[in-house]
Amino acid sequence: MKNILVIARKELGTYLGSPMAYIVTAVFLALTGTFFTTYLAGVGYGDTSIRGFVNAARFLVLLFAAVLTMRLVSEEKKVGTWELLLTVPVRDVEIVVGKFLGALAMLTGMLMLTLYYPIMLMSFGDPDIGPMATSYLGLFLLGGACLAAGVFASSVTANQIVSAVVAGGILFGLWFLGVLGGLAPGAIGDVLALFSLSTYFADFERGIVDTRGVVYYVTFALLFLYLSVRSIEVGRWR
């Protein structure tokens, strides 16, 4: 556990020491803020909900998860520090989990900065707190799953751009699998929707915490973290 926390702190420190993290955060806040205010202006300010923010944030989380994770392993492979890391007495699973937690802390900080939106609504109106809280829970779970997929993508290549493209392809492909499931007939459509990232997020938006959604996102994250560990193990023998 100590090694995991050391690696997580190191990764978080790397994020905070890089201008890229602040640029990504600023763009995330600007885009979510724009969608938040645009939605309220369109439906009238009597609608005290964060639906506009959530509608944008769910897609932005997919995008920025790929951006945040693209350097985690790829950059170390490129600059030559990856081989050094593999020689220290740290298990592969500790490396993967530590890097994942560092990225998760960064994404959590980005989401916490958006709490200004519900706080503002509570200051000027009487919004329903339930859907707001579950929407943030859904975004956190979705973000964790996306970051795990991003760690895996970063572990299979030494090119950051390739890592971001692979992660984005996986995440957006699985998100729109739900749309494809809606077009497919019968049981085929049900099976496709079952594996879609978007299927379970809708309940969180409506204020429902479905254990199937929680289990899906946690299992999704664990699967890709496991694949990341396996990818590193395979790389040791090359």
What residues contact 231, with CB distance under 8 A and at least 6 apart? 152, 155, 156
| Three state DSSP letters for 112-140 | HHCCHHHHHHHHHCCCCHHHHHHHHHHHH
Separation of alpha carbons 118 and 134, rounded Å? 12
What is this structure's pTM?
0.90
CA distance 98 to 94: 6
Q: What is the pLDDT of residues 31-48, one digit of tens each?
A: 998 888 888 777 665 566
Structurally, the chain folds into a number of domains equal to 1
pLDDT per residue as tens digits for the range 113-162: 999 888 888 887 777 788 889 999 999 999 999 999 999 998 888 888 89
Range of the domain at 73: 2-237
> 237 in helix, strand or coil?
coil
pLDDT at 103: 92
| Residue 136, C-beta contacts closer than 8 angstroms, at least 6 positions apart | 111, 115
